[in-house]
Structure 1
Amino acid sequence: MKLISISAAAMLAALVATPAMAQTKVTIAISGWTGFAPLTLAKEAGIFARNGLDVTIKKVPQASRHLAIASGDVQCAATTVETWVVWNANGVATTQLFQLDKSYGADGMAVRGTTGSIKDLKGKTVAASAPGTAPYFTLAWFLKKNGMSVKDVSVVNMEPGPAAQAFIAGQNDAAMTYEPYLSAVREKPEAGKIIATTLDYPMIMDT
């Protein structure tokens, strides 16, 4: 993803901070996704602290991040726009504060070398995170743009890292993943190739 700037993290600090300099404790849920790095950088650079926030960065899988918010375990989260829509629709009331990043080729689909097009995946097995996550949404979007739906493939629920690792090891016909795992697939051309990314289908951004 192309990062907007660290000012997005500073904006979060300004929005959540109290007028006084008393430290307000805030836990932010993220994954290991590169696009969330400005939040960690803001913490390490002291931007949150200077704005009255005692921030804890916690890694929580996207599939369960909304449960962490609903339980009060975390107060903020970084995730994709369509995921917020799903969370709110399922009773986890949240408000998006700002756009953090946008994917420019950093999310994509890995397929075997013999796969000529996305349409060739009909009836095949695709590894992707659970419904309500960015990889699953990306899969659904890619398929729809090629005249198909998730009903046309067999989805095996795996997180992006394990999905890419399993694909490289020879499991499944395709995998939905993101950087740095897309690069891991590119480094193993004998395992397969990247058939499409968000450069081809720009539709993923985090808030």
Structure 2
Amino acid sequence: MMIRSFGRLAVAAAVSAGIATPAMAAENTRLALGISGWTGFAPLILADKAGIFKKHGIEVDLKMIPQSSRNLALASGSIECAATTVETHVAWNTNGVPITQIFQMDKSYGADGIVARNGIKSIADLKGKSVAVSAPGTSPYFLVAWVLNKNHMSMKDINVVTLEPDAAAQAFIAGSNDAASTYEPYLSSVRDKPQVGHILATTLDYPMIMDTVGCSPKWLKANPKTAKALTDSYFDALDMITKDPDQAYTIMGAASKQTAQQFKESASLLRWANRADNEKFFASQIVPFMKEASVILKEAGVIRKLPDNYAALYDASYIK
């Protein structure tokens, strides 16, 4: 009896003193989210610059982190959430860095691709050639692995030169390497210079690049309202793109040193996923894709085993 009374008194004293007990602890409305300069992530930048995050009562620190390092940032706790491709979420989870996907951002429709010298006419011609591509566990690497797999080849058939997407495109334009895997806005830098090479394949030919935002499961459990506000902010950013495209493209283009028109052209090669798209994606598309992607990830040596439970890799409740 005395112990219970003391417990009540302790809680009352804590409330009086303004000290939060574990059950009373407020959500943290601040979070760090890892992204890159990929065009598909621009609505998050718009949500930041246009005050949409603030309207939803959250403060989001958008950190530019290469895809190959985002899992390390997540594991160290320097970020709570990350935007990346679906198969990368699978790889991180399988390799010991838990992350739960909560909303889909985009799907590439020609915004990711492989560029090659003009003498390389087919995927088969890549055999024995030098291909600049980011590290294993990134979307450019997975793109190459996927395309090779669909053409009865593997990463062992090419000579990999490890470069990030922007550097891969720049090196290719400068005359280095036989081919490169990159994405918008860097892909267009090669598209505009046909004398140095051509686009060999894109996600129009091989639709397999789609991005989601995921967060640490531990952070999600402690901050569900903040995660919901993050999701709703993304959808509000899409609404702004529809209602005020000129301002939206200007803001998003400035982040990648593009004019509004240049950014609009880059964005035409992808589709941002609205709430209805998200509902369809999580209901019927994400699991089949993760299963197919996992087989290729294992073949490419990115993961050693297939996931035990695909349903545990996402939580669709935040898109409602």
Where do 4+ consecutive residues of structure 1 move more than 6 Å?
A: none
Q: Which runs of 5+ in 2 are unaligned?
A: 1-25, 213-320
Alignment of 1:16-165 (within 5 A): 24-165=29-170
| Secondary structure in 1 matching 2:68 | helix
* 1:40-60 residue CA offsets vs partner (Å, 9 max, x unmatched): 111122222222211111100
Which stretch has the larger CA shift, 38-47 or 136-145? 38-47
Q: 1:23 to 1:52 in 2, by over 3 A?
A: farther
* Mapped partners of 1:194, 1:76: distance in 2: 33
- AA at the equivalent of 1:130: A
| Secondary structure in 2 matching 1:132 | coil
**What is the aligned partner in structure 2 of residue 11 from structure 1?**
none
How far 1:170 moved relative to its partner?
Answer: 0.8
- TM-score normalised to the size of structure 2? 0.57
How far 1:36 moved relative to its partner?
Answer: 0.4
How far 1:177 moved relative to its partner?
Answer: 0.4
**What is the aligned partner in structure 1 of residue 292 from structure 2?**
none
- AA at the equivalent of 1:29: G
- TM-score normalised to the size of structure 1? 0.88
1:206 aligns with 2:211: yes
* Mapped partners of 1:54, 1:186: distance in 2: 37
Report how many residues are paired.
Answer: 188
- AA at the equivalent of 1:51: H
Identity among equivalent pairs (%): 66
* Mapped partners of 1:28, 1:84: distance in 2: 14
**Structure richer in helix, relative to its length:** 2
* 1:184-206 residue CA offsets vs partner (Å, 9 max, x unmatched): 11111111000110000000100
* 1:21-41 residue CA offsets vs partner (Å, 9 max, x unmatched): 987111111000111011111
* Mapped partners of 2:164, 2:188: distance in 1: 16
| Secondary structure in 1 matching 2:101 | coil
* 1:124-163 residue CA offsets vs partner (Å, 9 max, x unmatched): 1100000000000000011111111000001111000000
| Secondary structure in 2 matching 1:55 | strand
